Amino acid sequence: MNGSVRTAEAMVQVLDEEGIVVAPDLEPHLPVEFLWRAFEGMLTVRVIDERMLMLQRQGRIAFYGAATGQEAAIVGSGLALEPQDWVFPALREVGVALLRGYSLQDLAHQLFGTRDDILKGRQMPCHYSDRRVRHVSWSSCVGNQVPQAVGVALAARYVGDPVVVMAYLGDGATSEGDFHVAMNFAAVFRAPVVFFCQNNHWAISVPVTRQTASKTIAIKAVAYGMEGVRVDGNDLLAVYQVTRRAVEKARTGGGPTFIEAFTYRMGAHSTSDDPSRYRDPEEVERWRSRDPIERFRRYLIWKGLWDADREQALVQRIRDDLMAAIQKAESTPPPPVESLFEDVYATPPRHLREQQMAFEAYLREKARWLDP
């Protein structure tokens, strides 16, 4: 148990803030193209954030939650998963979905709520999900997804499906009852689940110091009889190593792991938030110097793998692809209002059919008013 306490208190780190390897025994020695895929994943999240914040301020989409500053935690953990694994995200894991095959076009249709949205325009913007890539929709009710992830993990084990379930949450979710239920249940029944907590220091306007009196968040795992690991969330290599180990441990029957990724939310909680009202700008600037993308770029430079032209071309391609997806989504009409009655019952009951017929009659009458 003392060893568990140490791993939950110490910070796992591979790269220092200059991108230099400080723990050679932990460096994963990944293929060059894998490293560039990781770099592309982080750049993609940053480009999406910049564009979507602009679109929301222009009134073209209704809501967005950026992940700026947390890209290494998102991409590093996402890369540790296999295609058959399931993801139960929180607000900022679009980068994980994209790594798994969710497309920029699907994302654009979801944010605009178009006819071609695979969710049929029925979910809030930024609440994307896609069964094809085993990415479940998150809920605005904080922490709901955590016990659900444990349930899916246990169900998979019962039917002999060798999957691991990744449950993402923020530091604020650790103050919810759902967190306790999920952690206790997962530990007792040794569910093949990994809890990945992005401790970005702020649960909207509440600092992490008001969330817990524990020395770290990871140390909470010890009380449940579960391994807890604290990792530098701005160090992509450390995040990947820690998460990969936890995923393989879960897959081979070793039970759950709780990971605390120590990172920082550079921007607002969402487009509905003004962090300048509760956060010291000097704190933000201190963390800006720890930018995870810049740290990883320095690592590539240190390894002799960085190419300025390749990065420039990569960013331009991401911007072009995103712009094309946005233009297509904006030119796509919304779902037909008649679809309101679909997918409620396998066989619609009489009262629902009557409501649908009445609504369709109203639409026909309205059309005659507008075009006599």
Q: What is the pLDDT of residue 181?
A: 97
Q: What is the pLDDT of residue 369?
A: 85
Strand partners, 86: 165
Q: What is the pLDDT of residue 372?
A: 64
φ, ψ for residue 51, nearest 5 deg: -70, -45
Q: Which amino acid appears at position 293 of this protein?
A: I
Establish whether 278 is a catalytic residue.
Answer: yes
Report the pLDDT averaged over residues 321-329: 98
371 has pLDDT over 80:
no
Q: What does the mean pLDDT of the chain come to?
A: 95
Report the C-alpha gap between 142 and 153 in whole angstroms. 20
Catalytic residue, chosen from 6, 57, 122, 278, is: 278
Q: What is the pLDDT of residue 5?
A: 77
Q: What is the pLDDT of residue 344?
A: 86
Catalytic residue, chosen from 269, 290, 295, 298, is: 269
Q: What is the pLDDT of residue 276?
A: 93
User: What tens digit of pLDDT does each residue of 131-177 get?
Assistant: 999 999 988 899 999 999 999 999 999 999 999 999 999 999 999 99
CA-derived radius of gyration, the chain: 22
Report the pLDDT averaged over residues 11-29: 96
More confident residue, 308 or 364: 308
Q: What is the pTM of this model?
A: 0.94
Q: What is the pLDDT of residue 7?
A: 77
Q: What is the pLDDT of residue 337?
A: 86
Establish whether 265 is a catalytic residue.
Answer: yes
Catalytic residue, chosen from 46, 92, 157, 265, is: 265
Confidence grade of residue 2 (pLDDT, cut at 50, 70, 90): low
Element (H, E) at 168: strand 165-170
φ, ψ for residue 159, nearest 5 deg: -95, 5
91 has pLDDT over 70:
yes
Confidence grade of residue 50 (pLDDT, cut at 50, 70, 90): very high
User: What tens digit of pLDDT does each residue of 266-314 get?
Assistant: 999 999 999 999 999 999 999 999 999 999 999 999 999 999 999 999 9
User: What tens digit of pLDDT does each residue of 193-222 get?
Assistant: 999 999 999 999 999 999 999 999 999 999
